[in-house]
Amino acid sequence: MNSNEILMPALSPTMEEGGIAKWLVKEGDIIKAGDLIAEIETDKAIMEFESALDCKISKLLVEEGTNNIKVNTPIVKINDNHIPLPTKNLNKENDKKNKTKKIINPQNDVHDIDLEKNETQKILTVRESIRDALAEEMRADENVFLMGEEVAEYQGAYKVSQGLLDEFGSKRVIDTPITEHGFTGLAAGAAFGGLKPVVEFMTFNFSLQAMDQIINTCAKTLYMSGGQMNCPIVLRGPNGAASQVAAQHSQDFAPWFASIPGLKVIQPFSANDAKGLLKSAIRDPNPVIFLENEILYNDKSASSEIRDELIPIGKANILIEGTDVSIISYGIGIKHSLMAIELAKDINISVELIDLRCLRPIDYNTVFESIKKTNRCITVEECFPVCSIGNHLSASIMENVFDYLDSPVINCTGKDVPMPYAKNLELAALITPEEIFEKIKKVTNLD
């Protein structure tokens, strides 16, 4: 990619091409980060697109009204004298701060897991792995069915349920009205009756409408019935920040749900974990919250070899072994941590990376044993800093392995603000690999 060009953005996970509905700048304009550039017609709506950097518009490469422009096609040429945000180079230097410090844009695919491919390996995206898990469980058990907004005819708001309506029909892949409270209650009743519903929330932000059903019906009935009535239901969908969907569509609910007795809570990173854990969730007799991330659906760093195995709920995964500091994370926090670990290698810090995968139950033993080895700990997540998963882990670590710590536990989270809409402010509100790297240096006394 030419760093002096702005490309047609992917403004939704399923967008492959778009159109320039209207230019909001002209050639010669000097714009700042956050200024609007154009109105882009996507596969869902017309959305405003803003600059992520300070620059001068040298040339508009596409005429207003042009349609069917492929994502990542150059649409604007900008002035050479303005330096854009880095995109795919982990080794770019920031001379103003430190000649060895690297700048990373966490919204781009800058880190790919090195997968040794051969003819017997099956590499899938997270989106594909979730679809396959659903299909396989529905084939194996006729009591499993999928319901939610746009899961059938539209094949999912994020195309997760592609092909399922054609294979299983409208009695098992069910489009619902826009009433989360209603269809979650209907699914809970079906679960009490012996079926195994999988409910898709278009986003977990909309689950707020169904919180009474989730907490008071799904989570508590087994306890309140004295073990006589369980609720084998899976509630799944995207959770946390996406890209410029603002405060009411970007909240991370992982700590909320993980605080509720009676719920199991899963938030995977890799495609293999997403498939193996979703299959386990569907087979579990208890209500399971299955949190996904819109950014990771088609992300190369999260795509992985699929081993077609059930993954037990409540077992963490040591992704990288190390000796100097333990990073404990989950979901998209793993992607940021992987990039920060690449930076740490340059200063010879050995990082152990643990993917929790499950937030209730948490695999405390794996966390504690890692800290006994490294004596330092950083937690990484995108949720708010108050009452985060990292807060809980910090308390548990203090109570159980305090004597092994050589430094206080550090929590890396998103900022304590509602998610901004503007791209530059959104990036500032989210955790970044650079911030994690700075915490790595701090906890190892190298800052």
Per-residue pLDDT, 83: 39
Per-residue pLDDT, 81: 52
Model pLDDT for residues 345-388, shown as the tens digit of each residue = 999 999 999 999 999 999 999 999 999 999 999 999 999 999 99
* Euclidean distance between CA atoms 74 and 61, whole angstroms: 7
Q: Report the CATH number that the domain containing residue 234 is assigned in CATH.
A: 3.40.50.970
More confident residue, 196 or 111: 196
Pick from 305, 336, 363: which residue ends a domain? 305
**pLDDT greater than 50 at residue 84:** no
Model pLDDT for residues 285-344, shown as the tens digit of each residue = 999 999 999 999 988 899 989 998 999 999 999 999 999 999 999 999 999 999 999 999
Which whole-number Å values give the CA distances from 280 to 286, 297, 324, 360, in the listed order?
Answer: 11, 20, 34, 14
* Euclidean distance between CA atoms 180 and 183, whole angstroms: 5
369-392 as b/e, with b when 16 or more CB fall inside 10 Å?
ebbeebbbbbbbbbbbeeebbbbb
Per-residue pLDDT, 394: 97
Average pLDDT over residues 196-223: 96
Q: Does residue 110 belong to any structural domain of this protein?
A: no
Per-residue pLDDT, 13: 59
**pLDDT greater than 50 at residue 107:** no
More confident residue, 303 or 92: 303
Per-residue pLDDT, 349: 96
Per-residue pLDDT, 243: 82
Pick from 305, 326, 344: which residue ends a domain? 305
Q: Do 150 and 255 reside in the same domain of the chain? A: yes
Query: Confidence class of residue 97 from pLDDT cuts 50, 70 and 90?
Result: very low
Average pLDDT over residues 129-155: 96
Q: Do 270 and 388 reside in the same domain of the chain? A: no
Residue with tokens 């919250």: 289
**pLDDT, mean over the chain:** 88
Per-residue pLDDT, 204: 95
pTM of the full structure: 0.78
More confident residue, 97 or 387: 387
More confident residue, 104 or 345: 345
Q: Do 157 and 242 reside in the same domain of the chain? A: yes
Q: Report the CATH number that the domain containing residue 66 is assigned in CATH.
A: 2.40.50.100
Per-residue pLDDT, 9: 85
Query: Confidence class of residue 1 from pLDDT cuts 50, 70 and 90?
Result: very low
DSSP string, 420-437: PSSHHHHHHHS--HHHHH
**pLDDT greater than 60 at residue 143:** yes
Hey, which residues are catalytic here?
180, 249
Per-residue pLDDT, 44: 64
Q: Do 199 and 329 reside in the same domain of the chain? A: no
**How many domains are there within the chain?**
3
Structure tokens at 132: 């396959």
Average pLDDT over residues 150-156: 92
Q: Report the CATH number that the domain containing residue 373 is assigned in CATH.
A: 3.40.50.920
Angle between helix 389-401 and 364-374 (nearest 10): 60
What percentage of the chain reaches a pLDDT higher than 70? Answer: 88
Q: Do 134 and 279 reside in the same domain of the chain? A: yes
Q: Do 361 and 419 reside in the same domain of the chain? A: yes
Q: Does residue 106 belong to any structural domain of this protein?
A: no
State residue 179 phi and psi, 5-degree precision: -150, 85
Which domain covers residue 32, as residue numbers? 5-84
Per-residue pLDDT, 2: 52
**pLDDT greater than 50 at residue 109:** no
Model pLDDT for residues 159-200, shown as the tens digit of each residue = 899 999 999 999 999 999 999 999 999 999 999 999 999 999
Q: Do 32 and 132 reside in the same domain of the chain? A: no
The CA radius of gyration of the chain, in Å to the nearest whole number, is 23
Cβ partners under 8 Å of residue 195, min gap 6 = 143, 144, 145
**pLDDT greater than 80 at residue 121:** no
Per-residue pLDDT, 50: 82
135-146 as b/e, with b when 16 or more CB fall inside 10 Å?
bbbbeeeebbbb
Whether residue 339 contacts residue 106, with contact meaning beta carbons closer than 8 Å, is answered with yes
Query: Confidence class of residue 92 from pLDDT cuts 50, 70 and 90?
Result: very low
Pick from 31, 56, 84: which residue ends a domain? 84
**pLDDT greater than 60 at residue 24:** yes
Query: Confidence class of residue 46 from pLDDT cuts 50, 70 and 90?
Result: confident
Q: Do 282 and 253 reside in the same domain of the chain? A: yes
Helices (H), 47-172: 126-140, 164-168
